[in-house]
Structure 1
Amino acid sequence: VLWAIKHGKEASSEKIDHAKQILKPFLIPTGIKAYMQPDEVLIIANRSSNPLKRGLAIPNGIGVIDADYYNNSGNEGEIFVQIINFGITDIKISKGERIAQGIFMPYLLADQDDHSKQETRHGGFGSSGR
């Protein structure tokens, strides 16, 4: 499929479906939980060596973990890193291997934002519904 795209050729729907199964993001468990203040987020950033050395990247550039992710009723709060392997071979991630880095950041609200209207989170990865 990538060859077809590079050379301006058509790829069959079967090959496209097969490529989607291979080139999909994976959630890698970290075993880490992080508590944050209500006005703080945890930014998950790719390690700079991942794309060049291993063909790994965070598909949306960064991950954003809200403070209410920690210990909500539908989630233990374990942090997962979403990674896509755009290389041509499988990559094994070993326990303790550094694949991403976290940056705690405070944030500001616009005048019209109201914390009291926020719904309670019920779930883990991708569950904020916003």
Structure 2
Amino acid sequence: MKDIPMDGISVADVGPAVVSIFRSPEEFLGKAVGLSAEALTVQQYADILSKVLGKVIKDAKITPEAYEKLGFPGAQEIANMMRFCHMKPDRDVKLTHRLHPKVKSFSQFVSENKEAFKDL
């Protein structure tokens, strides 16, 4: 993935942001809104996981093409997601925080969901 930031947002934070959009139809009617709590590189995601979980998590530094060749169910879809991130989709961190001021950072999300990451 190189050092390309990837946008992220908790599914639980999407709803409140969408409610804010619905409450302001005059501002958002006919517009696409790209939500993002923050944009981090794979290394930054790994560093946060390492810090919060107390385990060393490393960036595998794998290309989409190499990932696709791993051949497990879903590998091609994940490789395509990586390609999509390379395209730098239009996401707006500041707007997301305006729409939902309590949107969680990745660090907060991991801290609140440590159990889900126990098998990393």
Q: With the length of structure 1 as denominator, give the TM-score of the two structures.
A: 0.23
Task: Compare the two structures and name the one with the higher strand fraction.
Answer: 1
Q: With the length of structure 2 as denominator, give the TM-score of the two structures.
A: 0.24
